[in-house]
Structure 1
């Protein structure tokens, strides 16, 4: 059975039973499937072939989840377009893709988006939770059949986007056979009965967050969906639906602590999985001590369509205490090695270098990442930062995460971000933005500089510091490095 067939079977198995919860109500499998069928019918009327790829200006809403599920169940490729851009930027994405049709929320069909779709001769479909739930966009009822529209590489199911932490998001093609691997990597091969507590999905569907939706429907699991993360919404669904596990960004761990959420409110959780960035040990220790909920570290990336390394229950039992700071071992279909960034030579156990992975369903080749990591003799991987964020200060290499770790060791610093900024003499220099712990006195620049000078070579000391109420974050809750760099004012 192909992935498309098994995914369609997973969707069909819900029937009239609960499938996706969104904004206070459950939608049955039949309702979700009917939504997808309605979109397909409008596309058919618009002269868009059943196997032609379409674009989706994606939001974490029921109608968008139903569109994605419907496309995958029908074997129609879909390219994600982030909705949190300006209308002009969405229009530019539409023109670059040159697809037969664009599906977007009714509110996203701005004049700029309609104009862009008109310029490429594409059809437009508006979706909503209020009537009409699916409708052709005025003036875009039918694609211009005299125009050639783009096709995607054979076998591509999804084109998802990176989070755009270091620059503009990049589009990554996910092949249909790879989605089998996505399901496995999200669940670590675990299955659950149909009456098990639901899975929680709140990460952006335009990127790696869609994996939770794909795995949930494929395995006929109930899914509780949030349009965006907030502490109140997260806590409410944990309490209301008895969610037992959730993947979270490191920022969420800090937010839950800062909000002083009562321990009893998260009592349903058996564990959390922290991914998408470094979680400092102090925050992890504080969370586990307060809530008595273990946090497991994991590692994945958009280009791998899910996890690369993770902790399975048997690994937790045997190595959970002794290798606590590791992201686990590579999954069974994955090989990992650590290489010298300059020579490409494989490094021995314990040494830091760039992580490369070979994932059998994706490629027979080694894929190099920009993540600095080490692997011990037992095959457990530990992350140390990102090489593409390294700052070259007059020939001296500075790892921002190393400087950040020193800054957050100050009791008055809740969080920090270090980025490279232009320096007329040295090329680049580190600059730091910090959040101050509520109720604490703001440390002086001299105090922070001296802290870094005591712990690291002098070239690691930032040229300037700025204090912010909250570090700028993108919708994936990652700190936006360009936005932090924009805070710097040269002397």
Structure 2
């Protein structure tokens, strides 16, 4: 288990005075973090949680979560992630369904009766972790749940997917997957690993919630490279811009929704002058928006493609690729990373030719796939003759309207082109005559001129085939988003139900 565990071990070579995590403008030193890491490790060891033990963590963007990560992964334990952005009842349900041996959570979460009682009734040993304090809250004096582990391929992280389209599912990420993914990222970016003194060099930025694979991966990369980083409690334009302006990174991450917010805020170019590129992923990145960002800031937008099941990204753009190919390949999510193979197949599993759209399959050390090495995704995609990958939609999102197939992202992208529209979500609503019909929900640019449903439908008709035009377009103040800044469709459907009830 070299790789990530070795990288984490390098932190102990840093002086206690070295700045490690900046949050809300204040630095936590390695010494402060180390004290909590060692305290958590002491508590876990004391209750019998050695290598392979499953430890639940309510994983918020805060210093205590980082210390928990180091204490758990540094000793070969397994971290079971729990999302603090969910209502307490859902966090409690995820806790009971995953059944870790121990759970670590902020005192504020323990104050929620549903969470505390769920942990107690399930017999899970629980601790509150705040500042440098680790305090037992429930459970007996010793661990009684046996760890269930694959000795040949042990799990490092059990990560819940975002659950934006349905109930969250638990995805096990093995040590082999994480180490392979880290190696692929370093090959892609040219990172050489922690050869400099620990916790020196350029400061990294962690933009996403670390309970999402994008945020967790940014933290793991910073930790294994022994690099100081800014941990944003949540994304805000001001917080992101201030961090870039202060620390002057060369590359920073911007999810698509965040990129649109930066453009809408008209952030001065001089605030971003240190940047040589921005990376973007987690959701569909409109090539038009990418070009708008490129034109305004003279920065390449390096799109990446990945998923929780891949332990992160498996394909993407580099700056040299962008310089050579972007104008001819705009709309692509880039080429596969070193060691990654991609192909598309039809519904019978037959491999398709170049240019043919089908289900995307991925083969790489980081996928944790079956015997033949190929993992089938839910994404529809095609590969061109130069090896560039294009995501054409999702197989499970297609709307069949009277026999015609409507891809929600095609409709959303058309509506996003309207100057007053910030973002859009399209979904299929059951229809007695046609089977399904598309419905759109749009969030407008702050301060934009008001636009009616009829105006948006007229705009859509000029860009879409007739059967693709939504039967209804709702305008809302703000689209609900999850930890990855993707739209939370379950909450969106509740919102639409209320809007349509108000119309009656």
Shorter-chain TM band? over 0.9
Residue 182 of structure 1 and its aligned partner are, at CA, apart by 2.7
What's the offset of the Cα at 1:313?
Answer: 4.2
1:340-419 map, 5 Å? 340=346, 342-361=347-366, 362-363=368-369, 364-419=372-427
Deviation at residue 67 of structure 1 after TM alignment: 0.4
Answer whether contact 1:12 1:30 (CA < 8 A) is retained.
no
Between 254-263 and 43-52, the greater mean CA deviation after superposition: 43-52
Q: C-alpha displacement at 1:244, in angstroms? A: 1.8
- For the Cα contact (< 8 Å) 1:53–1:152, is it kept in 2? no
Aligned to 2:225: 219
Shift of 1:288: 1.6
Distance, in Å, in 2 between the alignment partners of 1:64 and 1:293 is: 33
Q: Which residue of 2 aligns with 1:228?
A: 234
Distance of 1:323 and 1:402 partners within structure 2: 18
Mark the CA change 1:86 to 1:444 in structure 2 (over 3 Å): closer, same or farther: closer
Match of 1:36 in 2: 37
1:3 has 2:3 as partner:
yes
**Native 8 Å contact 2:158 2:171 kept in 1:** yes
Q: 1:179 offset after TM fit, Å?
A: 1.5
SS at match of 1:379: coil
Alignment partner, residue 98 of structure 2: 97
- Contact persistence 1:164–1:170 (CA under 8 A): yes
The residue number in structure 2 matching 1:158 is: 157
Aligned residues: 485
Matching residue of 1:452: 460
1:124 aligns with 2:126: yes
Q: How many angstroms does 1:220 deviate by?
A: 1.4
Corresponding position of 1:14: 14
Q: CA deviation at 1:88?
A: 1.8
Aligned-residue offset at 1:149: 4.6
Q: Specify whether residues 118 and 263 from structure 1 end up closer, same or farther in structure 2 by C-alpha distance, changes over 3 A only.
A: same
Greater Cα shift, 381-390 or 298-307:
381-390
Q: In the alignment, which residue of structure 2 is the partner of 1:238? A: 244
2:325 paired residue among 319, 329, 349: 319
Question: What is the Cα deviation at residue 201 of structure 1?
Answer: 1.0
- C-alpha distance in 2, partners of 1:50/1:111? 31
CA distance, structure 2, for counterparts of residue 316 and residue 282 of structure 1 = 15
Structure 2: distance between partners of 1:308 and 1:206: 19
Q: CA deviation at 1:101?
A: 0.9
Q: Is the CA contact (8 Å cut-off) linking 2:50 and 2:75 kept in structure 1?
A: no
Tell me the CA shift for residue 314 of structure 1: 4.0
Alpha carbons 1:11, 1:220 under 8 Å: kept: yes
Give the gaps of 5 or more residues in structure 1. none
Counterpart position of 1:134: 134
**Deviation of the 1:415 alpha carbon:** 2.2
CA–CA distance in structure 1, aligned partners of residues 252 and 149 of structure 2: 33
- The Cα of 1:104 is off from its aligned counterpart by 0.6
- CA shift in 2, pair 1:378/1:71, >3 Å: same
Moved more, 475-484 or 225-234: 475-484
Distance in 2 separating the partners of 1:311 and 1:10:
30
* Aligned counterparts of 1:343 and 1:93: Cα–Cα separation in 2: 35
CA shift, 1:19, in A, is: 2.4
Partner in structure 2 of residue 63 of structure 1: 64
User: Residue 479 of structure 1 aligns to a residue in which SS?
Assistant: coil
Structure 2: stretches of 5+ with no match in the other structure: none
TM-score after normalising by structure 2:
0.90
Q: With structure 1 as the length reference, what TM-score do the two structures score?
A: 0.92
2:173 counterpart residue number: 174
Q: Partner of 1:435 in structure 2? A: 443
SS at match of 2:259: helix
Mark the CA change 1:7 to 1:328 in structure 2 (over 3 Å): closer, same or farther. Answer: same
